[in-house]
Amino acid sequence: MSYTAKPLAAQSPQQHVSDARETPTVLAIRRVSPAVVNIHGQKTVRSSAAGMAGATGPDSFRQVNGMGTGVVIDPRGYVITNYHVVEDVNDIRVTLHSGETTTAELVASRIRNDLALIKVNTDRPLPTIPRGTSSDLMVGETVIAIGNAFGYVHTSTVGIISALHRDVPVNETQDYQDLIQISAGINPGNSGGPLLNINGDMIGVNVAVRVGAQQIAFAIPIDQVIDVVSEMIEQHYNNQLATGWRTTGGPREGDGITIANVSASSPAARGGLKPGDRVVRVGSQSVDDRLEFVLAMLNVDPTTPIDLGVDRDGKRFDLSMTTNTRRVESLSVSELAWSVIGVQAKSVAEPTMRRLNSRMRTKYRGGLYITAVRPDSAADQQGIIPGDVLLGIHGWQTSNMKDLAGILEHPDMQKGPRAKFYLVRREQTLFGHMELAAQPTAKLR
């Protein structure tokens, strides 16, 4: 059987109308929508009135329904969203573009940048978002935002880039830097959703609106997102695996990821890796950039050799490398606090604690006065600063260093990377979640 093309002149008027309506905006939304997911779940929040009063009773907290948006960056179900979308959500629910609803787990987060990576529980590959770059954005160019606005899933709005490199303060401990300002409509629930250029490439993550203003919204540039998320993932797998390599390479540096340094007698050295090698495959997964590389490393089993595809001086070959789990170290409480949490601390004097409790109407037995914070540590990433008083971690009070030792040794602290903490700053009780470093392998002496 043969087919004859229909002459253009013979097409119906309706065909011409359809072609004219299929604009670049339509095509961009159609291209990206399958990789956009809706996130929802209940979270516990502290009421502002209770927080100001320093209350700690059951009326100090309330349950609210949270919602937001995420974008699939890996077919195995890894999704980028804003940290505030999943903060304090114990049961993260995700609705896929197909309408299927499933659960997800938090893998890594960074409150300072308001970004999080979650893993959707799925048994089939998911469509991934096409990534662009934010390095060549132009004021005035058309942008498209997609999100779960007020619970209306996959709401699309169009606007322009109003300005670039905006710094937006949020509170004393957090501010957004180098944001894209847009005129596209952003509403509650849009957080974590993609900002697209007219080609349908993701150029940012929608994050905030200016309260009381119209057509003033902001997005985190995609290059910043990829850098931060890659660092988050790298820290996550480095907490469990000892590889002995240090890598370099940006999100668009080309094919693969460069090995910058190899430690002597390390798994990388024993596997035959050398500085300057470019890893282009991890297991069966090809890697084109740093994000793909660290995502591939997330599923590495330390008991099984890793097959690597390497480019060295233009020649491709395969290597096999066996990683090690992190060596168990014997540390003092102070050393462990600096290593795992990233703080130096000392007990608050009893008279000071009594005055603090009297002013705030709390009954904490004591607290730990933070004297120093290690840069890029779990504490630093959560905005903890010298002068804060740490009251508790994971539901236990930190009245003194002995309490802290018991917390860090507790089996519950070995089960996951997140630990909820409470602290006092300027007579206000604040809380957040820390992703503890090297916790599975450190012990006290």
* Cβ pair 144, 29 in contact under 8 A: yes
Tokens, residue 110: 């960074």
C-alpha to C-alpha distance for 207 and 357, rounded to whole angstroms:
36
| 117: nearest Cα among 128, 133, 132, 105 | 105
Residue 296: exposure state from Cβ atoms within 10 A (0-12, 13-18, ≥19):
buried
3-state SS assignment for residue 20 = helix
- In angstroms, the first-to-last Cα distance of the chain is 81
Q: How many CB atoms lie within 10 A of CB 214?
A: 9
Q: Which residues are catalytic?
A: 84, 114, 191
Inter-CA distances, 42 with 91, 101, 119, 278, 308, Å: 7, 15, 18, 44, 42
Q: Is residue 32 within 8 Å of 202, Cβ to Cβ?
A: yes
The string over 260-291, giving b where at least 16 C-beta atoms fall within 10 Å of a residue's C-beta and e elsewhere, is: eebeeebbbeebbbeeebbbbbbbebebebbb
The DSSP symbol for 54 reads T
Residues 6+ apart with CB under 8 A from 141: 160, 161, 197, 198
Residue in this structure with the two tokens 């299929």, named with its chain if needed: 22
* Beta carbons of 82 and 205 less than 8 angstroms apart: yes
Measure Cα distances from 193 to 200, 273, 298 in Å.
13, 38, 23
3-class secondary-structure state, position 199: coil
Number of other residues whose CB lies within 10 A of the CB of residue 249: 21
Please report the beta strands in 300-354, taking only residues with DSSP state E, as ranges in sequence order. Answer: 306-312, 315-321, 324-325, 329-331, 343-347
